């Protein structure tokens, strides 16, 4: 896949400015990263953040970033250099096969428990795992933390970012499953609810609690009276046409 092709997977309905990077792990695997915007702008995931979190959630160590253009000097790129000691390579003609991000169907409860071991949560010590159940297999996610708290992602957003960057048709997602090892009651945080409602507005959400119980909800019920992205999209389109 080329970086130009990968850019088409970006979700940028508000800015119209797609972006993509490909991240190579120490073992030589290649992971995609694309810009994923949200109607709540601070929740937008940059292409770099997307790729780093996907790679780390797979239990891999990021070492090299491939880009079409030189990295910006906005401070955010400097953070990843300091945090991960990444090597950058500008390769407009990059074209290699990416590693698969969908796994075969498995016992979801056991899979969620195993995934907790991949959580990178040295600051909170609160591992969380998520699975998106699709018609073609499972897309996993765990919470990933960095020294800059806002640079990490919760397990739910990791899984959604992985699905989007991996080119998964979101309409093929049948359900979202969430599990935590600690706490009396597992539940998505407010930020994750905002992202879920934008990308997966009408799917069942199964919450596997630490005591072994299970509760079922619908994503549309997680954030009542939410501000819909269509409202802003229409307003932005009207402004562009003026």
What strands, in cross-sheet order, belong to the sheet with 128-134? 137-142, 128-134, 173-180, 204-208, 214-218
Q: Give the Cα separation of 104 and 80 in Å (integer).
A: 32
CA distance 215 to 197: 18
- CA–CA distance, 242 with 160 (Å, rounded to integer): 34
Contact (CB, 8 A) for 115 and 144: no
Q: Where are the alpha helices (H) located in 8-69, listed in sequence order?
A: 47-57
Sign of CA dihedral 120, 128, 20, 147: negative
Least Cα distance to 67 among 85, 50, 48 occurs for 48
**133: annotated active-site residue:** no
- Name the active-site residue from 58, 145, 156, 198: 156
Q: CA-CA distance, 138 to 127, in Å (whole number)?
A: 19
Query: Rounded to an integer, what distance in angstroms lies between the CA atom of residue 12 and that of residue 44?
Result: 9
Active site residues: 156
């Amino acid at each position: 896949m080329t970086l130009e092709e990968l850019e088409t997977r970006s979700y940028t309905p508000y800015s119209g400015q797609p972006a993509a990077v490909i991240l190579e792990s120490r073992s030589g695997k290649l992971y995609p990263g694309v810009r994923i915007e949200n109607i709540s702008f601070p929740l937008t995931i940059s292409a770099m953040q997307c790729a780093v979190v996907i790679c780390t959630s797979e239990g891999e160590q990021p070492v090299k970033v491939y880009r079409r253009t030189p990295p910006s000097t906005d401070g955010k790129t400097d953070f990843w250099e300091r945090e991960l000691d990444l090597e950058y390579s500008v390769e407009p003609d990059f074209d290699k096969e990416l590693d698969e991000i969908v796994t075969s169907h498995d016992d979801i409860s056991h899979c969620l428990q195993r995934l907790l071991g991949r959580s990178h949560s040295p600051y909170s010590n609160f591992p969380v795992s998520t699975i998106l159940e699709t018609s073609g297999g499972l897309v996993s996610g765990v919470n990933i933390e960095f020294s800059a708290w806002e640079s990490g992602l919760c397990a739910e957003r990791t899984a959604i970012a992985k699905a989007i960057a991996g080119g998964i048709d979101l309409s093929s997602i049948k359900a979202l499953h969430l599990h935590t090892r600690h706490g009396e009651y597992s539940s998505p945080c407010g930020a994750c609810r905002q992202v879920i409602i934008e990308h997966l507005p009408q799917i069942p959400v199964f919450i596997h609690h630490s005591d072994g119980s299970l509760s079922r909800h619908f994503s549309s019920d997680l954030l009542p009276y939410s501000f819909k992205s269509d409202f802003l999209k229409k307003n932005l389109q009207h402004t562009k046409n003026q």
